[in-house]
Amino acid sequence: MKVQITYLYHSCFTLQEDKKVLLFDYPERGIDSTLDEKIRSIGQGSELYIFISHAHGDHFSSNVTKFSTSAQETHHVVSNDVPKETIIRDKAVNRNNNTFTQVDPDRNYKIKNLKLKTFKSNDAGVAFLIDLCGKKIYYGGDLAKWNWPEWSEEKVSEHVKVFEDVINELKNEDVDIAFSNMDERLPSWAGPVEFIERVNPHYFIPMHTFGNEEWIDDLVDEEINAKSEIFHYEKPGDEFHFKL
């Protein structure tokens, strides 16, 4: 299968495979009208899946429903911490064959042509493990190695345990594509090296840079003991094409 991933900003990406388009964590700020147009053209006539991992403004805007107008059908997959009214007040959500599914952590779902498993995040909301035509795609949202130096040892170890438990589960899943955080505000960068070495996905997409795309250069320069290919994007709109 041919896959195209497009970086928009921060943790917002599209993943395109034939007529299916997955849009992840469209934020309140940081995406201009040119990039909006790009998202619309990627989603034109597609079977669009809008994923919202949690309600923080750097991952969610109620305006995300605007992309359903150019799609053939839209399936909204929304974490249960996002107030339902903020999404379904848009009539487009209920149009045609569109669906709206509010998801809880640690559950399994079938949404049109996708199978989905959710994990509880150690920040807010959920992470997703998506089965797309037999290929496995992990999208972490804000599930990451949050070892903030100002936190107590106990608080850090609680958070790290949640992250590592999910890594241990993913190790047995043969993950094809993984989106997980690369955030240089943390001493661990929020865990990308550990994630890649232990889960060993075919393709790794670092995220959560707040527009500091140069952080990705540091990850690419790092000695990592794994064969994963990293999406080395430099600016919003950059694309990554590969075959699975």
Q: Could you list the residues that contact Zn ion (CB under 5 A)?
A: 58, 142
Q: How far is the CB of 24 from Zn ion (least distance, A)?
A: 12
Measured from each CB, the residue nearest to Zn ion is: 142
At 163, which helix (H) or strand (E)? helix 153-171
At 177, which helix (H) or strand (E)? strand 177-181
Q: How far is the CB of 185 from Zn ion (least distance, A)?
A: 11
d(CA 156, CA 202): 29
Closer Cβ to Zn ion, 17 or 58, answer by number: 58
Contacts of 39 (CB under 8 A, 6+ apart): 8, 14, 23, 26, 31, 67
Closer Cβ to Zn ion, 125 or 201, answer by number: 125
d(CA 211, CA 46): 28
Closer Cβ to Zn ion, 12 or 114, answer by number: 12
Q: How far is the CB of 143 from Zn ion (least distance, A)?
A: 10
Is the alpha carbon torsion for 210, 16, 205, 122 positive or negative?
positive
Q: How far is the CB of 142 from Zn ion (least distance, A)?
A: 4
Contacts of 155 (CB under 8 A, 6+ apart): none
Closer Cβ to Zn ion, 46 or 139, answer by number: 139
